[in-house]
Amino acid sequence: MAIDEAKLNEFMGNFVRDMGAVAHAATVVVGDQLGLYKALARDPMTPEQLAAATETDPRYVREWLCAQAAGGYAQYDIATERFSLTPEQAFALAQEDSPAFIPGAFQAAMAMFHAVPKLIDAFRSGDGIGWHEQHPSLFVGTERFFRPGYVANLVSQWLPSLDGVVAQLERGARVADVGCGHGASTLIMAQSYPNSTFVGYDYHEPSIRYARLAAVKAGVADRVDFQIARAQDYPGRDFDLVAVFDCLHDMGDPVGASRHVRQSLKPDGTWMIVEPFANDRVEDNLNPVGRIFYSASTCICTPASRSQEVGLCLGAQAGEARLRDVVKKGGFAHFRRAAQTPFNLVFEARAG
């Protein structure tokens, strides 16, 4: 077998980049959990100063800071021997309410490594791995990763892209958030539309418990109810709006879920579907964003779907055409792309 040395060197360069990213991911989680980024965002510091500010060990902190600077996650000033964050780095690493906040993504990625033994068995057997069988870091990390995007786009862009929905919400609407997880999307809507009432449904009991506490903390528990239920048979009828955020592709029977959404809506109700951004053809998804979603889909989404009754396994890169087919089979005549971001597609579905 002939080896092209230039191509080999190019591939090994990719390996160095990827191995650095994998190793660096653990340091991001550590820095986030210990408050190192938040402290460093306040002022440039030496390792000793940052350690004192966060009640951590200076030697560990020195090594961590060097890793951050080597990875482009912090700055190092040779003259003062201090480390710092640029405004942009602080915006992404230290501000939880920022639309660019990223540590939650690394926290969710931890679950993929915890799942490796189960994934090896699943690859061989074809069995699934339920959402509830994943490491707890997935539940917390997913909420922290998706919430900034919802904060940035849900009220300002996505809901206004749906015909007449904002006016309904302002007057007072009944809303169901199906597959709500920790309830971040539900609570954002509830806080923005005080005349409306909301129900969040999820089959994962620990997530529902978390969401109920979050509703109390947010001061909207009188208008928000969280219930343990599946997408195919959740209770409630005559909703003005049903929303599913980044979860339709995880469902074993998304067509069954589509039918049930149709039955639970008012005749003139709207179904909002938010899904990871994807093109319809594989070759058009072979890019950095597609890499993230295909990898997450391999470790989380496809196993979750396979663990359920039908196991359609749409995957996180389902694309508009496959999603349209699922929605149409559920009895919806109207389906359109209403909005998009680099990471999400937003669809509107109606019965007529």
Q: Is the per-residue pLDDT at 189 higher than 90? A: yes
Domains, the chain: 5-93 (1.10.10.10), 104-350 (3.40.50.150)
Residue that has been written with the tokens 């006016």 in this structure? 167
pLDDT digits (tens, 9 = 90+) for 52-95: 999 999 999 999 999 999 999 999 999 999 999 999 999 999 99
For 222, other C-beta atoms within 10 Å of its C-beta total 10
Q: What is the pLDDT of residue 310?
A: 86
Name the E strands within the chain.
75-77, 82-84, 174-178, 197-202, 224-228, 239-245, 265-276, 334-340, 344-350
The residue-averaged pLDDT of 171-185 equals 98
Q: What is the pLDDT of residue 335?
A: 98
Q: What is the pTM of this model?
A: 0.93
| Dihedral over Cα of 95, 99, 105, 106: its sign | negative
The residue-averaged pLDDT of 130-136 equals 96
In a 3-state reduction of DSSP, which class is residue 239?
A: strand
Rg over CA atoms, the chain:
22
Q: Is the per-residue pLDDT at 97 higher than 90? A: no
Average pLDDT, the chain: 97
**Those residues with Cβ within 8 angstroms of residue 91's Cβ, 6 or more apart along the chain or in another chain:** 98, 100
Q: Which has the closest alpha carbon to 270: 283, 260, 261? A: 261
Q: How far is CA 133 from CA 27, 76, 109, 303, 318, in A?
A: 25, 41, 15, 10, 23
pLDDT digits (tens, 9 = 90+) for 308-350: 988 899 999 999 999 999 999 999 999 999 999 999 999 999 9
DSSP designation for 274:
E
The residue-averaged pLDDT of 135-159 equals 96
Q: What is the pLDDT of residue 267?
A: 96
Task: Take residue 70 and report the two structure tokens written for it.
Answer: 């080597």
The angle that helices 288-296 and 103-114 make with each other, rounded to 10 degrees, is 40
In a 3-state reduction of DSSP, which class is residue 290?
A: helix
Q: Is the per-residue pLDDT at 122 higher than 90? A: yes
Q: Is the per-residue pLDDT at 352 higher than 90? A: no
The residue-averaged pLDDT of 100-116 equals 95
Q: Are strands 82-84 and 75-77 parallel, antiparallel or unpaired?
A: antiparallel
